[in-house]
Amino acid sequence: MPHVPPASGVVRLVGATLIDGTGCPPLADSEVELVDGVIAYAGQRRAAQSLDGAIDLTGTFLMPGFVDAHVHLSMVPGDPETQRSRFVEEHVLETASVLRTTLLAGVTTARDLDGLTPGYRDAIARGSAVGPRLHLAISMLSPTGGHADPVRPNGSLPAWAVRPGMPAPGVVDTDDDIIRTVRELMRMGADAIKVSTSGGVGSPTDDPADAGLPVEHVRLVARLTAERGGRPITAHALTDAAVRVAVLGGAASIEHGYDLSDDTIDLMLQHGTVLVPTLSTLLRTLDPATTSPAALADREARQRRGLDSVRRAVAAGVPVALGTDAGVHPHGRNLAELARLVEVGLDPLAAIRAGTLGGARLLGLDTELGTVEAGKQGDLVVTVVDPLQNIGDLADVSAVRMVLQAGRVVKDLDSRMPAAR
């Protein structure tokens, strides 16, 4: 798993209402003890223990650190053409600021699905940068003219496609293209492989209804990753046909999934495929002053279809993990997705579980992360908001009062904890 430097010593947190990420009911007046960054005890406050040195969190709620399974952390705010003129170091430092903002919002682990090099992941693991633990796809794969292809009809590249240090966009049309590109991504250090089985919104030359990679190519990706110790495949898929291609090809998860038939939902259940619905991006508001009436109408129709699809998938029992598409969705408001998940049918406990254990399982990190249990890493979030009553309030980063990552205090708005060593 991607590590971060742990804290040393013993920390005891007492008095908070514990929501442990397993889906169990909240536990009032809890105690969590951390030893060298790892949870040694989590449960009811132990009466025999002295309060000396303990941190009193009475009146707060304690949860696991959250996992955002779909982010684009190199998508920094600002005009793309202005960004093109900047030095590489400016972009790196802006991305570092986004990483820090994401961590302070309560996201202690994130999966970046196009845009970051492993250098960011490795710097966080060494402790020379501050941010979530990272799993990376590095680049996504699509056919020529598909969602991963940044080339405009006149052959020019948009500013966002000029990415220093990144490999060439994953444009693949043949088996040989797939073999070379997937092996290059694995050589570079990809933790997951992202494929586009449909077109996308905002692509220069394709449409969401367009086909992407065929099932044969997704299966080839699955075979190639299996030969090198395994990498989960995730699929950008906006149409029902695209989701079916991805599931039958061996994808572990579906990103978006805004047009699901009942038959495809059944297929996802049969294969154990996880849905990452990125509702925060689906439901973001477009500016009527800069968006045509036709585009607004199309957007509203996609939102209606998307909400209906995700609601039916949730009702059927498709496993869900939290993902925001942050970069398209504003950075630092990742936990807004929790209220969106409640909107489509999860109760607040289940939404928290999707944002913690659900994401950890999808990334293959659930033996180390995702719940507040003995033996797990000390990734914790403390809030004064009751998430079972007002889960939408967690969208405001100021509602997250304290964040610990591997037992290390990275945020403490109330200054109740000593700095970790």
- Looking only at the bridges linking them, the beta strands covering 380-383 and 61-64 are antiparallel
Neighbours of 143 (CB within 10 A): 22
Q: In terms of pLDDT, which residue wins out, 220 or 159? A: 220
Dihedral sign (CA 133, 138, 142, 145): positive
The neighbouring-strand residues paired with 400 are 383
Confidence at 36, pLDDT banded by 50, 70, 90: very high
Q: What is the reported pLDDT for 140?
A: 96
What's the rounded mean pLDDT across residues 333-340?
A: 98
Q: What is the reported pLDDT for 161?
A: 64
Residues 6+ away with beta carbon under 8 Å from 175: 217, 220
Q: Which two tokens stand for residue 17?
A: 């209402």
Is residue 231 within 8 A of residue 270, CB to CB? The reply is: no
Whether residue 419 has pLDDT greater than 60 = no
What's the rounded mean pLDDT across residues 392-416?
A: 94
What is the per-residue pLDDT across 298-329, written as a single tens digit (0 to 9) for each? 889 999 999 999 999 999 999 999 999 999 99
Q: What is the reported pLDDT for 37?
A: 97
Report all structural domains of the chain as residue ranges with CATH numbers, in order of start: 10-65+372-412 (2.30.40.10), 66-334 (3.20.20.140)
Residue 346: left if φ>0, alpha if ψ -120 to 50, beta else—which one? beta
Q: In terms of pLDDT, which residue wins out, 87 or 83? A: 87
In 3-state terms, what secondary structure has residue 58?
coil
Whether residue 155 has pLDDT greater than 80 = no
What are the percentages of helix, strand and coil residues in the chain, rounded to 5?
35, 20, 45
What's the rounded mean pLDDT across residues 170-194?
A: 97
Is residue 349 within 8 A of residue 23, CB to CB? The reply is: yes
Q: What is the reported pLDDT for 1?
A: 57
Q: What is the reported pLDDT for 41?
A: 97
Neighbours of 131 (CB within 10 A): 27
Q: Which two tokens stand for residue 57?
A: 């969190």
DSSP category for residue 211: B
